[in-house]
Structure 1
């Protein structure tokens, strides 16, 4: 990525309606996956070292509740800031700790109830707000970069549950439902950002329902689409060094 690109707050590259469609479908798929877990699944470890399935699900619930209500968003942010550490780590800790007493059934019920409101809350964010720079910077590929609120709202807030859905599927053996119409669009956005960040030509071939082909020059690389995305955020085994945030 050039220095000029890195200096500008990163916007969403997705059309607004596409972003909101992806958000709605992803929340629905998370609800379905959580609903299908067996009682013994909730204590299984995940690829996030400090979280078992229950903790990961309560984080996802907390993020959805944050998206659904401005009051809840401000409350969670203040609670995280009061801890005085790295904001995103403190925020996720608050989400998990506050919901630690919920039963699996309560987590599923609350997620199903809040998911439509989370989409509505994200959809209500006006264009002039989405274009604003987020407070602070994010560390990606060894450098600090700025994001717009639109990139957070339209992109990251959907990539995050998608990646955690893959974590939950891997941890529990539950199927991860994948379609070209949903996951393929999300992966395409990730790939295009990866190409921009990579800055060198490659021919990328991703397999599976969310896969496809990108690039016409350079060395050929082939991976499973989900494994490719997992590698970009430090999971999985694919030998990829360039990060893309989720």
Structure 2
């Protein structure tokens, strides 16, 4: 006789943010990333980033592609279909496609198209979140080596903002530009990351994050941890090698 696993499958992950907050964060993040792009000089576009093999220009192509993916349903469908034809890991195929399709754009064209699409991306994300936010996306995503399912709401309300935010961090680091951080915006993004991280590991902790986006969070009698808020997120994203313990729990960006 073969034993049968009767455990119910994990529910698809949903956003922890309310929709209005999520869309406010999206609009502000698109604007801050655009401001950073406008500050770059000619040499900055070829600088390497923390996402090899992307330089700043390739990373911008991905961010533009993802904003256009969010803004237009036909583009959303086209990119998904083309990425599927490429094969391999779906998210890697999608991001590679976005970079490839925008590889011939000049920095000026990248900036102009991003400025034009950003407001439409917010509207498109809100619209699709309302229509299919609770629907499970097809397939699975792998986080920390473990496959999991997401809702479309988690993608449109949370992940697409985190993705832009982390690439703004990457771009600032690559070019030596100051990273604009405020409690009202970045602090909310970081707090959401902390809440998801805590839910993923489910163990006691005491966390102090420093800087404008920081704060303090505790649950039970756990180990004390203190580090910079942005560095905390970089560790959870896999950009920095995680020390042993709770910081090895990955969170998607």
TM-score (norm 2): 0.93
**Which secondary structure does the structure 1 equivalent of 2:234 belong to?**
helix
Residues 143-193 of structure 1 deviation map (CA, whole Å, 9 limit, x = unaligned): 211111100110001000000000001100011100000000010000000
Partner of 1:218: 222
Residues 38-60 of structure 1 deviation map (CA, whole Å, 9 limit, x = unaligned): 11000000011110000000000
Q: Which whole-Å CA distance do the structure 2 matches of 1:208 and 1:174 have between them?
A: 17
Residues 64-86 of structure 1 deviation map (CA, whole Å, 9 limit, x = unaligned): 01111001111111111111221
CA shift at 1:115, angstroms? 0.3
**Which secondary structure does the structure 1 equivalent of 2:185 belong to?**
helix
Check conservation: 1:227, 1:237, Cα contact below 8 A.
Answer: no
CA shift at 1:141, angstroms? 2.4
**Which secondary structure does the structure 1 equivalent of 2:135 belong to?**
coil
Partner of 1:11: 14
Partner of 1:145: 148
**Which secondary structure does the structure 1 equivalent of 2:225 belong to?**
strand
Q: Which region of structure 1 is more displaced relative to structure 2, 65-74 or 140-149?
A: 140-149
Check conservation: 1:16, 1:154, Cα contact below 8 A.
Answer: yes
Cα RMSD (Å): 1.5
Does residue 244 in structure 1 map to residue 242 in structure 2?
Answer: no
**Cα 1:153–1:23, aligned 2, differ >3 Å: closer, same or farther?**
same
Query: Which runs of 4 or more aligned residues in structure 1 lie more than 6 Å from their structure 2 counterparts after TM superposition?
Result: none
Q: Which whole-Å CA distance do the structure 1 matches of 2:184 and 2:45 have between them?
A: 30
TM-score (norm 1): 0.96
**Unmatched 5+ residue regions in structure 2?**
1-6
Partner of 1:118: 121
Partner of 2:233: 229
Partner of 1:184: 187
Check conservation: 1:184, 1:211, Cα contact below 8 A.
Answer: yes
Larger Rg: 2
Q: Which whole-Å CA distance do the structure 2 matches of 1:215 and 1:238 have between them?
A: 20
Q: After superposition, where does 1:1-246 map in structure 2 within 5 Å?
A: 7-216=10-219, 217-236=221-240, 239=243, 240-246=247-253
Q: Which region of structure 1 is more displaced relative to structure 2, 121-130 or 150-159?
A: 121-130
Q: Which region of structure 1 is more displaced relative to structure 2, 213-222 or 61-70?
A: 213-222
**Cα 1:173–1:76, aligned 2, differ >3 Å: closer, same or farther?**
same
Check conservation: 1:22, 1:158, Cα contact below 8 A.
Answer: yes
CA shift at 1:91, angstroms? 0.8
